[in-house]
Amino acid sequence: MAVYTDINEDDLKAFLKAYDAGSLLSYRGIAEGVENSNFLMHTDRFPLILTLYEKRVDENDLPFYLGLMQHLADRGLSCPLPLPRNDGALYGRLCGRPAALISFLEGMWLRKPAPQHCRELGAALARMHLAGQDFSLRRENALSLRGWVDLWDKSATRADEVQIGLESEITEELALLEDRWPVDLPEGVIHADLFPDNVFFIGEKLSGIIDFYFACNDFLAYDLAICLNAWCFEKDGAFNVTKARALLDGYESVRSLSDTEIEALPLLARGSALRFFLTRLYDWLMTPAGALVVKKDPLEYLRYLRFHRSVRSAGEYGLERA
């Protein structure tokens, strides 16, 4: 359960005084999520999500994340809208942590997305990429090559505790990615964590995207590579090319991929698999026993990484013109 910081009613009521949000009726911790502490709150005016920013969120990045949500919502994308405080600030402080109130989005995330959901996702991702083009703030991707090396430096010597041989396999992979990582692909604001639990649907229709707390400027096609990993593998580890084709078709129904983006896709998918492997491995090794969070399996992403290593071209992801 991702509630790292406990809050009490008096503190919450004091926090709410800075907002025009009505009176508190109820609040409860939300079990899902791994990064921040989230609470569902009801006031006599509306439901709200209260987020207390934890470990990986740098307070200096909050204007980027919260401003981005405002920017995208203004351009018609269905994402949470931060509620400003009476003094105009987009976040305040609760129990010693930066904390924001954001609008509650209707819908459910899908445990078993089908190809038509992947198509919807692709189209929404491309719309987000286009809507983000004129966002004025910039944030480097702290979890790209440099960040991977830092994470690996902290975990490498213990990696073989998780699986024998990991230390040498990942060291080699990282060296290869450092050598071959693209430098000149189309860039923009990417979500960078668009997993099924961050995308809500009502029936077949995508109703909203949440959790912009890894958003940053990076290659647009890298976001697509993240989705290939997060949406197109089955529970048994098999890659589902029908889902991948639907994802890519949906994306291209809104924004066409260039030849260089298509060519780079297998490498971007390797990098993306490594990125989630590394954060999961770090959390696996470092999270204290008894912490109220469900740790995610790093080896799932090792399997995806190995799959992408065998991919010769994006045609294997179902892209006809690759």
Ligand X SMILES: N[C@@H](CCOP(=O)(O)O)C(=O)O
Strands (E) across the chain are located at 24-29, 37-43, 47-52, 92-94, 97-103, 187-190, 199-202, 205-209, 216-219
Quickly list H helices, 181-297. Answer: 220-231, 241-252, 259-286
Determine which residue in the list 276, 304, 307, 317 makes contact with ligand X, applying CB under 6 A. 276
CA angle 209, 212, 214 (to 5 degrees): 135
Given the complex with ligand X, which of 178 and 297 has the nearer CB atom?
Answer: 297
Block residue for tokens 């990615």:
177
Torsion of the alpha carbons at 177, 182, 183 and 185, rounded to the nearest 10: -150
Partner residues linked to 41 by β-bridges: 27, 48
SS3 182: coil
Residue 104 within binding range of ligand ADP, rule CB under 6 A:
yes
Determine which residue in the list 198, 229, 240, 272 makes contact with ligand X, applying CB under 6 A. 198
Given the complex with ligand X, which of 213 and 317 has the nearer CB atom?
Answer: 213
- The distance of closest approach from Cβ of residue 314 to ligand X in the complex, given in angstroms and rounded to an integer, is 23
- The distance of closest approach from Cβ of residue 136 to ligand ADP in the complex, given in angstroms and rounded to an integer, is 23
Determine which residue in the list 150, 169, 187, 197 makes contact with ligand X, applying CB under 6 A. 197
CA separation for the pair 196, 229 (Å, rounded): 11
Partner touching 104 among ligand X, ligand ADP, none, CB below 5 to 8 Å by kind: ligand ADP
User: Do 301 and 277 form a contact (C-beta atoms < 8 A)?
Assistant: yes
- The distance of closest approach from Cβ of residue 207 to ligand X in the complex, given in angstroms and rounded to an integer, is 17
Q: Which stretch binds ligand ADP (CB under 6 A): 14-22, 25-33, 63-71, 174-182?
A: 25-33
Determine which residue in the list 15, 38, 123, 125 makes contact with ligand ADP, applying CB under 6 A. 38
Partner touching 210 among ligand ADP, ligand X, none, CB below 5 to 8 Å by kind: ligand ADP
Retrieve residue 118's tokens: 């992947």
In terms of DSSP bridges, do strands 205-209 and 97-103 run parallel, antiparallel, or are they unpaired?
Answer: unpaired
For 88, what's the count of Cα atoms within 13 Å in the CB-facing half-sphere? 0
- The distance of closest approach from Cβ of residue 320 to ligand X in the complex, given in angstroms and rounded to an integer, is 30
Closest residue to ligand ADP: CB criterion: 33
Retrieve residue 140's tokens: 């480097």
Given the complex with ligand ADP, which of 5 and 303 has the nearer CB atom?
Answer: 5
Determine which residue in the list 150, 169, 197, 252 makes contact with ligand ADP, applying CB under 6 A. 197
Total binding residues toward ligand X, as defined by CB under 6 A = 12
Determine which residue in the list 16, 35, 97, 190 makes contact with ligand X, applying CB under 6 A. 35
Determine which residue in the list 211, 218, 223, 261 makes contact with ligand X, applying CB under 6 A. 211
Q: Is the four-CA dihedral 193, 92, 68, 271 of positive or negative sign?
A: negative
Determine which residue in the list 7, 16, 21, 34 makes contact with ligand X, applying CB under 6 A. 34
Which residues of this protein are in contact with ligand X, per CB under 6 A? 33-35, 193, 195, 197-198, 211, 276, 279-280, 296
